[in-house]
Structure formats: structure tokens, C-alpha cells
Amino acid sequence: MGTENRNEKSQELDLLDVDEIIRLMNEETADALEAVEVESESIENLITAIIEQNADRIIYAGAGTSGRLGVLDASECPPTFNTDPDEFIGLIAGGDRALRFAVEGAEDSEALGESDVLDLGVGPRDCVIGIAASGRTPYVKGVLKAAGKAGALTGGISNNKGSEVSRLADYPVEVASGPEILTGSTRLKSGTAQKLVLNMISTIINIKRGKVYGNYMVDVNPSNWKLERRAINMIREITGADEHAAQDALSASGRRVKTAVLMIMLDVDREQAESLLSDQPDIRKVLTTDKG
């Protein structure tokens, strides 16, 4: 496997100066970016299938670094896009403890992967994406086998071509990032490549679900001071309202940016704005329809 091979550029890694290691790591990261670019079509196919399916849940599953990256991407969706916590889910072999500690044998069990899928009640309305740098992790194979039997749409993200995980997935993505500078340490550029693909999946799906206006994250949950300031600035920039009006609209809207924007731009109250959004969550389409 390419991910397990010895990298010729780093055979004397321990003898390199700090600046030389930094330069080498940057070069290898650039290779990972290029490998993701090569897989653009397969990434597009997976995302398009999820959008067309209008999946109720997108479930990531992996072990070790791959599992942690899936959990990370899933956990970022509620604060960024105000998604339901059950809409994007991250499964990691060994459960939550495995986020911080190695759980012996967890990744080697197909049965554990199958059990985790059954516990979630996965079905035809779900999309399950297995993530494995090697492309052969038993836990991930167990997840995909069980998800396929349950009728779910399946995807795979691996860092080797022709992997077992790819053969089990309806829509495989194989980002061949090559050998690591630290032999076998796939938390490095393999992990970087996986994170880039996950960024694309969650971001594009939420864009297409009406959670973005222009390049503003208009469904953001203003749960702290920084995000509240971001919300107010978005309202100001989208509507042209001044600071005071934007603050008042955010408060009156129940702290929902999209609701506040419609209240200002359509001169409606909160109830009317929420009614419009219940029919069409994409505020661009709401505004276009109203102007029409």
C-alpha cells in the first residue's frame, strides 16, 4: 500500500534540521492537495448522490485518525450551519473513549462496525461514508457491509487505489496521497487529504440545502460573542441596515440570521418570516420569489 511505503525523500528524517523538515512537510502537503484535485470527479459523484437522495443523515465511520476526523467534521456542522445534531454523525471504532485513547482491537473488528450501524437504525434514507487511509480497516468494512444490507447509500474515502473499502462503497473516493514522511503515520498528509474531502462533503451539502447566502453562513448559531458579532455583521452587510437595526432584528428574530434578514428586507414580522422559511429554507429563493 502506498500509505505504508517508505518515503524516499525522508529516509534520513532524524538528521534534518527543523527548517528542512518544515519544507519537506509543506511539499508533502502540496502533494496531498494535488491528490484531492485528481479525485474531484469521484468527490462530485458522492456529493451529488447525497444531495439527490436528500439523505436524512450523513454518517461518517472510521478508526483512529480517520474516525476522529469524521467526528470532528460532524461536530462542526451544528454550530456552523445550525444542523440537527443527528443530521451529521461521526462513528469511531471504540466509541467516544477512542477520541482520546487507543482502544485495543476496536479497529480490527468487523462485528463492532456492524453493531454500531445496527444501533443507529441505519436505513435507506441514510448515507454512510467509511473512512480508512489503508482502505482495509475491518471496522470500516463492517460498517459498510451492514449499511449496504440496510439499503443505505454508501461512500468510501481511502488513500490507496483499488481498496477493499472502495469495493464496498457505492461511491468510492480514493485519494492516493502516497507514503508519509514518517513511515505509516497516516495522521499526516493522508489525514489532511481526508479532512479536505470531508470539508467538501459537509460544506457543499449545507450550501445546497439553503444554509448559505452568497458566502455567508446564514444559519450560524450565535452561541457566543464572536458568533453573535458575525451574525450582526452578516445582517448589516446583506440588508444594508445599520448596527442598531441589525441588533434589534437579530433579537426580534429569536437570534436567527435568516429570519432577521427577511424581516428587514421584506418588512415583515418574525412570524411571517418564519412562515416563508418553513416553505423555503433558501433565503435567496424567498427573496427572488417575493421580487417576482
Q: Which residues are the active-site residues?
A: 76, 107
Cα–Cα distance, 114 to 118 (Å, whole number): 6
Q: Can you tell me whether residue 124 is helix, strand or coil?
A: coil
Cα–Cα distance, 273 to 39 (Å, whole number): 41
Q: Which residue has the cell 470532528?
A: 72
Q: Write out the three cell numbers for 29.
A: 502537503
Cα–Cα distance, 255 to 225 (Å, whole number): 13
Instruction: Give whole-number Cα distances, 234 to 87, 194, 260, 271, in Å.
Output: 25, 30, 10, 21
φ/ψ region of 10 (left if φ > 0, alpha if ψ in -120 to 50, else beta) reads alpha
Instruction: Give whole-number Cα distances, 225 to 108, 118, 222, 231, in Å.
Output: 43, 40, 7, 10
